[in-house]
Structure formats: C-alpha cells, structure tokens
C-alpha cells in the first residue's frame, strides 16, 4: 500500500499545492479521499488509472474538497468506464449531481453506488462500514467541523500467517498449487490420504495495515477512534499554535493538536496536510507537530509514502 497526496492546500490552490485530495493505493485498486478542483489532473500526474479507482470518499461539502468531483466522474464516462464506483459523502452530493446532469454538465453512464450521511444517521451509531472488498474495509465516523464532516479509516483485512516452507517439505507436500491452497486457508488431501490443515504450515495471522483520514476537523474523540493503532494518521494541520483561536473558530486543527491526536491514538506515524496558504514554507508546522509527536511528516503534492 502507498499514500499519494494529490492536493495539500487549504481553501485555495497555490503555485505549488493543489486543494484537498489524497489517493491510497492497494492491491489492484485504489481509493480517493476528497476531490478538490483539478484532482483529475493530479491523478494523471501521479500515474493512477481512473479505471482502477474503487471508491471516492468525500469528507464534507466545502468546495475545496469536492469541486473536482463532477469533472472526474464525467471523464470516466468519456473513457468508457464500466465498473461500479462507490461514492460516499455527506448529504447534498446526490442533489448536486442530479442538477448538473439535468443541466448536461455532468454525465455518468456506469454504475454509481452513492451513500450519503448526516448527523441524524449517527445519533445512535458510532461508525459505519461504507466499503468492503476481498482485502480491504473502509469505515466512517463524523468529525467536528463548521459543517457536517466525515473521517475515514481504511483497513487491510487480517492476512494469513507466513508460509513455513521447511515444514511443508517435512510433511511431504509437493510444491505447486497445493501451497497456494494452504496459503489461502484451505485444507488439502495428499495422495497418501493425509489431510493437511493450514495451521500446520502457516504462522499466526498477521494484522493488516490501517490508514485514517481526518480532514477538516477540530480535535475530537472520533478522530482518535478512527486512528487507533493506525500505521498512518493523515490529519489536517492548517495553522500553527499562535493561530489556535482562529483555527478553532473555522473548525480546524493546529499542527500541535494533530500531533496530540496521533499520540493519543497510538498511531505509528502522522502525515500532516491541508496547510493554510499563509505558510508557503510548512517547516514551522512540521516542527510544532514533531515537538509532540516525533514521527510526523509533512505531505507534499504527488509524493509517495509507503504504508
């Protein structure tokens, strides 16, 4: 898995940063979190195939996080996409896309599985599973912004334990397809009638990787819950601490507050992003965050981060 920030600027693009969008690339599929204007251009620059895009997950309906959505959806229609696409968002996107379709601005001719959420939905729920494939799940929880906002956690499913080749040879298992069957969790029967179970040649199950995405938000309990023991927490760090009152007023977090969330969640690493344009150099934000959580890194457009 790898993380590719496609836009790291808050509010408006700059000469060196596009507005919010981020790709997480898995095995044979990838997922897009937020879709600010010109995201499809950044997707092309990153070398990502829209045909392999499995889902788009919008955090909230401020323009710098979803203005690029209609163009990307329409481009995939032009490119003859046939595969179903998952689209998760706060309430409002369905109405928006319906209006654009009526005005002949947005055209989608492939299956689009759209789910919308608002605060009432989560009145009796803590989180919701919004995506599942053979190897990955994505869950969502509401965050604390000026308008309703969602955070996400992408998690790789538990993987089988490592294959013990020496033990397999001791048991007389011929190499080839039988190894693959055992690695996939299936018992096999040898020519001599012995039944070999996966537990005899596999180590203990291995937990999958986890990445959380928390933009835009004030510090909140759900950001911690989404990020518990995550390999990477991707969290906004719009302002430095001297602007904490402004940050709170506009529903954002400072770099130190992002670091405090990472520390409380016991995340392994923190990737800060969503930088205010008043910080052309993000060094002050990075230094503040590292004073609390040393394993902090600053996102840059089109960088690649291994998970």
Helix, coil or strand: residue 143: coil
pLDDT in tens, 6-36: 999 999 999 999 999 999 999 889 999 999 9
CATH number of 2-158+208-306: 3.60.15.10
Q: Which residues of 206-231 are buried (b: 16+ CB within 10 A; e: fewer)?
A: eebbbbbbbbbbbbbebbbbbbeebb
* Whether the Cβ atoms of residue 299 and residue 272 lie closer than 8 Å to each other: yes
The average pLDDT across 49-74 equals: 97
pLDDT in tens, 142-156: 999 999 999 999 999
pLDDT in tens, 173-188: 998 899 988 888 889 9
Alpha helices in 103-254 (DSSP H): 165-170, 177-183, 221-226, 244-249
d(CA 151, CA 168): 44
pLDDT at position 205 over 90: no
* Whether the Cβ atoms of residue 167 and residue 179 lie closer than 8 Å to each other: no
The pLDDT of residue 97: 97
* Whether the Cβ atoms of residue 284 and residue 275 lie closer than 8 Å to each other: no
Q: How far is CA 228 from CA 210, 261, 289, 298, in A?
A: 9, 10, 18, 20
The pLDDT of residue 155: 97
140: its two tokens: 């969502």
Among 235, 231, 233, smallest CA distance to 207 is for 231
pLDDT at position 270 over 90: yes
219: its two tokens: 């510090």
The pLDDT of residue 124: 85
pLDDT at position 289 over 90: yes
Strand order in the sheet with 150-156: 128-132, 136-142, 150-156, 210-214, 232-236, 269-273, 296-298
Element containing residue 297 per DSSP (H, E) = strand 296-298
d(CA 194, CA 173): 10
The pLDDT of residue 272: 98
Round the average pLDDT of the chain to a whole number and report it. 96
The pLDDT of residue 160: 79
pLDDT at position 86 over 90: yes
- Chain centroid, CA 160 distance in Å: 23
pLDDT in tens, 32-57: 999 999 999 999 999 999 999 999 99
Q: Is 79 an active-site residue?
A: no
* Whether the Cβ atoms of residue 65 and residue 58 lie closer than 8 Å to each other: yes
d(CA 161, CA 199): 9
d(CA 166, CA 149): 51
pLDDT in tens, 93-127: 999 999 999 999 999 999 999 999 999 999 988 99
The pLDDT of residue 159: 81
Q: Which of 64, 216, 231, 301 is catalytic?
A: 64
The pLDDT-based confidence of 280 (bands split at 50, 70, 90) is: very high
Percent of the chain with pLDDT over 70: 100
d(CA 270, CA 117): 27
d(CA 192, CA 46): 53
The pLDDT of residue 27: 87
109: its two tokens: 């001719």
7: its two tokens: 């836009």
d(CA 172, CA 149): 56
Domain locations in the chain as residue ranges? 2-158+208-306, 165-200
User: What counts of helices (H) and strands (E) characterise the chain?
Assistant: 10, 16
* Whether the Cβ atoms of residue 245 and residue 275 lie closer than 8 Å to each other: no
């Amino acid at each position: 898995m790898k993380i590719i920030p496609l836009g790291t600027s808050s509010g408006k693009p700059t000469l060196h940063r596009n507005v919010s969008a981020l790709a997480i690339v898995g095995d044979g599929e990838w997922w897009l979190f937020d879709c600010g204007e010109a995201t499809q251009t950044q997707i092309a620059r990153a070398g990502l195939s829209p045909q392999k895009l499995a889902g788009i997950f919008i955090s909230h309906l401020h323009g710098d996080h979803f203005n690029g959505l209609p163009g990307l959806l329409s481009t995939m229609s032009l490119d003859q996409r046939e595969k179903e696409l998952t689209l998760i968002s706060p309430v409002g996107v369905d109405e928006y896309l319906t209006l654009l379709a009526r005005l002949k601005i947005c055209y989608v001719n492939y299956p689009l599985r759209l789910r919308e959420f608002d605060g009432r939905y989560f009145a009796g729920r803590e989180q919701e599973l919004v995506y599942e494939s053979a190897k990955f799940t994505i869950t969502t929880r509401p965050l604390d912004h000026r308008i309703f906002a969602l955070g996400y956690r992408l998690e790789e499913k538990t993987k089988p334990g490592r294959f013990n080749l020496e033990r397999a040879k001791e048991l007389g298992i011929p190499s080839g397809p039988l190894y693959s069957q055992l690695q996939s969790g299936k018992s096999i029967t040898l020519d001599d009638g012995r039944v070999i179970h996966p537990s005899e040649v596999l180590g203990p199950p291995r937990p999958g990787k986890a990445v959380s995405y928390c933009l835009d938000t004030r510090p909140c309990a759900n950001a911690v819950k989404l990020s518990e023991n995550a390999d990477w927490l991707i969290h906004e760090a719009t302002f430095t601490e001297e602007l904490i009152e402004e940050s709170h007023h506009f529903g954002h977090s400072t770099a130190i507050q992002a670091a405090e969330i990472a520390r409380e969640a016991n995340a392994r690493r923190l990737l800060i992003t969503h930088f205010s344009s008043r910080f052309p150099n993000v060094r002050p934000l990075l230094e503040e965050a590292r004073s609390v959580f040393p394993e902090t890194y600053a996102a840059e457009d089109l960088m690649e981060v291994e998970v």
